[in-house]
Amino acid sequence: MTEAQREAAAATILVARAKAGERGAFDDLVRRYRKRIFALALHLSGSESDADDVTQDVFLRAYHTLDRFEGRSEFFTWVYRMTVNRALDARRARARRGESSFDQDPRIERAVEADAGGDPRRAAELRQTYARVVRALDSLPPDMRTTVVLVALQGLSNAEAAVVQKCSRGTVAWRMHEARSRIDAALTKADARRPSCEGRLPLELRVSRHLGALLASAGLPESEPT
């Protein structure tokens, strides 16, 4: 049994126990997935406060609708789908209000903090690099950007991302191919005066090299959802 299969089996047991009325079982599900849900919401919304709200809302909804979860897909797929929808809604709402936090984008700041090692000069260089990557990523259409986040940053397989997004594996593969071309073009244009061999690296390595630290370093709010 693979690690993914063991995780899925453990989650299935916890879901069954939670449905039977064992509150502690649902708390275990929250502890198991909360950090990944927060990171996913942060990547998609671009806002730490929105990511916090989305995370709490997703688990509240999951708790109150658990009896409707029939288990035809894995629990993480179910909550991932809710997270994607809720985070994209939050991003659109912020855009309608004309709000932008790019100057202090938490995705950039967290990655810089994780990678700079306390060196101010290194932090300044990384901030410029990460800003270019985030701009390129955010320029993608929402569905394509979500696919990149799920596959390149969250480590889902094409099949898992397809289930979350309710599309075919072929669609996921096409989105990744197209995203690779668009991000390559955006970074090549942005880095025209900074020759680099990065353009030859796969998209998964390019994006995860710059932002992957976010998944490991994304802090979680103190309060637990109720």
Number of domains in the chain: 2
Mean pLDDT of 125-150: 87
> What is the pLDDT, as a whole number, of residue 222?
32
> Which residue, of 100, 128, 153, is where some domain finishes?
100
83/134 same-domain check: no
Q: Which residue has the higher pLDDT, 213 or 152?
A: 152
111/158 same-domain check: yes
The pLDDT tens digits of the residues spanning 33-87 come to 999 999 999 989 988 899 999 999 999 999 999 998 887 788 999 999 999 999 9
pLDDT of residue 208 exceeding 60: no
> What is the pLDDT, as a whole number, of residue 27?
95
> Which residue, of 55, 79, 100, is where some domain finishes?
100
193/164 same-domain check: yes
pTM of the entire predicted model: 0.80
Q: What are the two backbone dihedrals, phi and then psi, of residue 111, each rounded to the nearest 5 degrees? A: -65, -40
User: What CA–CA distance (Å, rounded) separates 206 from 218?
Assistant: 19
Average pLDDT, the chain: 81
60/116 same-domain check: no
What is the domain range of residue 1? 1-100
> What is the pLDDT, as a whole number, of residue 125?
81
The pLDDT tens digits of the residues spanning 161-192 come to 999 999 999 999 999 989 888 887 877 776 56
Tell me whether residue 215 is in a domain.
yes
> What is the pLDDT, as a whole number, of residue 225?
35
Say which range, 59-63, 98-102, 106-110, 175-179, has the weakest mean pLDDT: 98-102
pLDDT band at 101 (very low <50, low <70, confident <90, very high): low
93/165 same-domain check: no
> What is the pLDDT, as a whole number, of residue 223?
36
108/183 same-domain check: yes
What residue has token string 């903090």? Answer: 113
78/16 same-domain check: yes
Mean pLDDT of 191-208: 51
User: What CA–CA distance (Å, rounded) separates 206 from 187?
Assistant: 10
% of the chain exceeding 70 in pLDDT: 81
CATH code for the domain in which residue 40 is found: 1.10.1740.10
Mean pLDDT of 196-212: 49
> What is the pLDDT, as a whole number, of residue 218?
35
Tell me whether residue 32 is in a domain.
yes
> What is the pLDDT, as a whole number, of residue 194?
55
Tell me whether residue 30 is in a domain.
yes
Measuring CA to CA, how many Å separate 149 from each of 142, 146, 211?
Answer: 10, 5, 10
pLDDT band at 19 (very low <50, low <70, confident <90, very high): very high
Residue 188 structure tokens: 């090549």
Measuring CA to CA, how many Å separate 151 from each of 4, 89, 102, 194?
Answer: 15, 21, 23, 28
